[in-house]
Structure 1
Amino acid sequence: MSTPLRVASYTYEHTEALFDGRVPIEGAEAVFETAPLVSDIFRRTVEGRYDVAEYGLTYFLRTFDLDESPFLALPVFPNRNFRHSSVFVNTAAGIEKPQDLAGRTIGEFAMFGHDPGVWIKGIFSDEFGLTPDRSRWVVGGTDHPVPAFDWVPQPVPDGIDVRHAADGATLGAMLESGEIDALISVDVPQALLGGSKRIARLFPDYERVERDYYRRTGIFPAMHVVAVPRKLAERDDLMAAVYRAFHQAKEMAQQKYRDGARKQHMGVVTPWFSRHFEENRALLGEDWWPYGLAANRTMLDTFLRYHYEQGLSKHLLTSEDIIVPALLDT
């Protein structure tokens, strides 16, 4: 008898085959749901609407400080991105390197310690000695006001100055006006996209910086995992089936690009895409978006360390603490 499953994920190209039915979940009768904003999926996950759901790493980890943490994770990482490109500065603030952010006011999207923020703060601490307590923080929306997320724990360590942006204010406008000096955001400020000269990236040549970061560390930062309730996580066969389905859907998306290389990706509208694909393949390998714990342990344990060091976890967790037991050998 098939197990009914309510599954939620953003509609990425590497989840399309799940949504359109090309890849089924063996032994399950799965119904898939998405949302315009991925944070809506996170909130509904907290509300218990799903059996399997994409979940931001920091949102997921914050539940481990509750009396009973409700979720474990599959080693499936549907959203990942290099994060040096997520730091923006006011061009009049005189900020040219990460160390210049000491003593400055920095905006952060949504909350203190959103996933890109955890990554880049950790990198800044490791590589430049810049810890979060050396700056002031304002949280809010980049181009649209975002109220405080009252459905997720919001720990702020002692000694760190954090406030929420005023009602109706946006961090993008505050950065352009100079009210804040810098911004860490998953969203590129609209003013920058519109050609404003008052906002720039901290790392103008961010692709070179991020490629160098990968060469040195082997880390392709993940933002999200796929979470399941702990009771469901006890069903080893079902967890293996869910993992296989996500993996197969992702592999189908990657294979499309491998096959497209033969025809110089004529189906892609981006000029010189094949050259870019060759560069990525040479650096990241044949499986450039890996699932499974073995290929992601260093990345995941690094994020867990950052989360703890930034005061967002009470205890230093390991991969074994958070991954579904049946999938630890993936």
Structure 2
Amino acid sequence: MPDLDLTIGTYLYEHTAALIDGTVAIEGVDATFETAPLISDTFRRMVQGDFDVAELGLTYFLRTFDLDDAPFLALPIFPNRNFRHSALFVNTAAGIEKPQDLAGRTIGEFALFGHDPGVWMKGILAEDYGVSPDQCRWVIGGTDHPIPSFDWIPQPVPAGVDIRHAADGQTLGAMLEAGAIDALLSVDVPRAFLDGSRRITRLFPDYEPVERAYYRRTGIFPMMHLVAIRKELAQRPGLVQAIYRAFAQAKDVTAQKYRAGAAKQHMAVMTPWFSELFAENRNLLGEDWWPYGLAANRKAVDTFLRYHHEQGLSKHLLTSQDIFVPGLLDS
């Protein structure tokens, strides 16, 4: 039987590179991989029907579940994950010194109300610090480049939450530096901050210990994206298992390079003291520090699903059982 032709969209990460360059193949599939400089372009093209399988931001994926005929199911492959306390920036003149000070303030948010880091941090702010989204005003836009509203994906507006889009030509980074907004929740670090502006700082300046403590307390390494497949393809015998195995193998190719590199103090990596950081991360996060599969990620996924519903972005409270392909529920 000839291989199945599939077009797959994903970002070029170090842990997907072996798939994209052909080092790792998907059994029974003739795959064409496509990437894009902006991952949101891959999301858009998946939603618009250009891909059979693609990386999707969690919130983008979940918003399709409120359509009359949800087109996708998820594979427990998480190509993008990051701790997100570091994603909150504040104007230094706004008098915001602790999370509770965000109540009553105007906060910019990148791209859409409830982008993936936004869902995580709003959930954490509400759960850990008592600040819920309805206590703030929200301005949606681009961090350093103006972006229009993403009209290709549902845009639920939660009741009782003050949300508006930035005006044409405005950027959230410039608004934060000027004091037009008090804080910014963004996957992108504002250019002014990177350039050393004294008008912008992180809400958690020493964020690494905060994020490590969060992991020790919760066991959650927040994922931003998963891999989605069209429902009609998910029914093909053995296909989702083959895709899952290939993504896992590609990830393991990279992970093994880091494990082997420890013996030579990672001399192929140009970051000083990287070996110490690698050892510290491995000690905290475990041997499989970037896990795929549902067993290792169920708590994190279900937490995101709960936050998504609590923030008015899902009509129904979904669980992992609802969104993942049945053939990988035991992964």
Helix, strand or coil: the match of 2:238? helix
Query: 1:235: Cα distance to partner?
Result: 1.6
Moved beyond 2 Å, runs of 4+:
none
C-alpha separation between the residues in 2 aligned to 1:156 and 1:182? 20
Query: 1:236: Cα distance to partner?
Result: 3.5
1:163 aligns with 2:164: yes
The C-alpha deviation readout for 1:53-86, integer Å capped at 9, x for no partner, is 0000000000111111000000000000000000
Look up the match of 2:218. 217
Helix, strand or coil: the match of 1:265? coil
Look up the match of 2:83. 82
Question: Is the Cα contact below 8 Å between 1:236 and 1:326 reproduced in 2?
Answer: no
Helix, strand or coil: the match of 1:228? strand
1:1-330 alignment, distance < 5 Å:
1-330=2-331
TM-score, normalized by length of structure 1? Answer: 1.00
Helix, strand or coil: the match of 1:231? helix
C-alpha separation between the residues in 1 aligned to 2:91 and 2:146? 20
Question: Is the Cα contact below 8 Å between 1:77 and 1:222 reproduced in 2?
Answer: yes
C-alpha separation between the residues in 2 aligned to 1:324 and 1:310? 25
C-alpha separation between the residues in 2 aligned to 1:233 and 1:171? 40
The C-alpha deviation readout for 1:147-174, integer Å capped at 9, x for no partner, is 0000000001111000000000000000
What runs of 5+ residues in structure 1 fail to find an aligned partner?
A: none
TM-score, normalized by length of structure 2? Answer: 0.99
Helix, strand or coil: the match of 1:159? coil
Helix, strand or coil: the match of 1:235? coil
Query: 1:12: Cα distance to partner?
Result: 0.1
Q: What percentage of aligned pairs have identical amino acids?
A: 73
The residue identity in structure 1 corresponding to 2:66 is D
C-alpha separation between the residues in 2 aligned to 1:216 and 1:198? 32
Helix, strand or coil: the match of 2:117? helix
The residue identity in structure 1 corresponding to 2:43 is F
C-alpha separation between the residues in 2 aligned to 1:236 and 1:161? 47
Helix, strand or coil: the match of 1:276? helix
Question: Is the Cα contact below 8 Å between 1:23 and 1:248 reproduced in 2?
Answer: yes
The residue identity in structure 1 corresponding to 2:179 is G
C-alpha separation between the residues in 2 aligned to 1:146 and 1:255? 39
- After superposition, the CA RMSD in angstroms is 0.5
C-alpha separation between the residues in 2 aligned to 1:326 and 1:236? 9
Query: How many residues of Structure 1 are paired with residues of Structure 2 in the alignment?
Result: 330
Query: 1:47: Cα distance to partner?
Result: 1.0
